[in-house]
Amino acid sequence: MAGATACADVATDHRAAFVQQVLVDDNRIWLYRAADKVADKFAVMADDPYDFMRGSAALHFADLSRPVAGRASTRFLQTADATTVLIFGDPHPENATVCRAEPSHHEPHPPLSVEYVDLDAAGYGPWTLDLWRAGLGMAVLVNELPGCDYTCWEPAVDALVHGYVDGLDPAAPTSVSSERATDTDDWGDVLVDLFDESLDEGGEQKKTNKYAPLDDTETARAFVMDPDTRLIPLSLDEHRILGQLLDRMALPPHFRLLEASRRLGSGVSSIPALRYVVLYDRGHDGPEDDALMQLREVLDPPVFPGTPAQGLAVFPDNHTRVVSAARQLWTRPDADPRHVGAEVEGLSFKAVSWTSYFQDVDHTKLAEDWEEDKLDLDDILALAHDLGRVLGASHARARTRDGIVGRAVIEADLHAGGGPAVLEAEVRQRVRHDLHQLYTDHDVFRDLLDTEGPLLGAENFYDGVVP
């Protein structure tokens, strides 16, 4: 008994050291200049298993690169180019967003589409990796719903895989008319509700009015700087960098800067990132053309399991990588019309729209609706199928590193590996193993914060990390 207990203690200590090392290394670039924001990120990750999943992609990938007992080997990735597909890297459910391209004279009512909008981890890798990562994200989301367990998340993961295979079909629906968004049988109720919110809240400029409300004259706006909006004034250095960014980015016609601020702590993985919010218009004196966009730095992509660190060997820089990936993976290149990039002082930045026409899947809102009986398991399964279909369609339309259409590569590899039924069983088995590991690691992570401090003991890894 004593020997068995000692072995268990050694294994626990080994895992804790591994978790600590990977997460400290993953945040190293921010530890040197924004240690307090890294501590905020770790605190968010500690509070919620889903947020831990969002902030620990590097840990998941590091695990997938190691031989681990209990994880099945794949029957796929056997054909040429199957490991060089353009993938998102981290297509968890909250990365799925209802988008709307910009209206024009030729297209006054552009369709709404569902896209995985955050491409910070995008690169060339195994097509199955996105499916495994999406399956884990869906499993955590569903497992956290009150009263749910494997009887909920397993069928949700199956639905995700079914949707993925459906999305490989060129006829798979990927958008909906913005003139009749709710009049569709192609999407489940969760996304239909987001289509409705997009049109209702976007048309009334809800986000712009929240963060930069009109003054008493209803002719000018100003940012609300307070803890609720998490907007703060820019420092002199931040002003300088923003000015250079705006000079180098492709901006909307007749762009006119009205105000700028920094926003703190948005998302999970990128909480410590330098993030600007810009209020601008197109030159009209009234508020009808006022709009917001965000500019955020983009770091190096992760190293995908089973592939060399080649992300920046293919793309010249990170902002080119994420913008180029969007042009291929999204339903239409202008799904986010503000999605452009630039580099300043060695930092890569991307710009994104910040408007209520863009509506994200929100795991907290889903949990609330579940508890209030506004959602049932059928709604969750429909959402999983929809998100899987979006992922499959994205992979199918993009090209591999050598320029081959993704659909042809994936369909050939899917057939060689045994087909959809084998894929479904394999993803379910992998997610079962990785879900258990994620909850174990979440407990280990919380213990490390208690014993090592809010930075996981990073000050012991690098001199001078903490001011």
Q: pLDDT for 232-264, tens place per residue?
A: 999 999 999 999 999 999 999 999 999 999 999
DSSP 293-357: EEEEEE-PPP--TTS-S-HHHHSSSHHHHHHHHHHHHSSSTTSSTT-EEEEETTEEEEEEE-STT
Angstrom distance (rounded) from CA 111 to CA 99: 9
CA 115 – CA 107 distance, rounded (Å): 20
Q: Where are the beta strands (DSSP E) in 395-465?
A: none
* For range 137-164, the mean pLDDT: 97
Q: How confident is the model at residue 7 (pLDDT cuts 50, 70, 90)?
A: very low
Q: In 3-state terms, what secondary structure has residue 414?
A: helix
Q: Tell me the whole-structure pTM to 2 decimals.
A: 0.94
Q: Whole-number mean pLDDT of the chain?
A: 91
pLDDT score, position 308: 57
Average pLDDT for residues 97-114, to the nearest whole number?
A: 91
Q: Give the model confidence (pLDDT) of 282-317 as tens digits.
A: 988 888 899 999 999 999 888 888 665 554 468 889
pLDDT value for 12: 74
Strands 347-353 and 85-87, sheet pairing: unpaired
Q: Are 142 and 66 in contact (CB under 8 A)?
A: no
pLDDT category at 183 given cuts 50, 70, 90 is low
323 or 301: whose pLDDT is higher? 323
Identify which of 63, 31, 115, 81 has the alpha carbon closest to the alpha carbon of residue 361: 115
Q: How confident is the model at residue 6 (pLDDT cuts 50, 70, 90)?
A: very low
The partner residues of 399 in beta bridges, in order of sequence, read 405
Mean pLDDT within 56-78: 85
Nearest to 60 by CA among 325, 387, 314, 430: 430
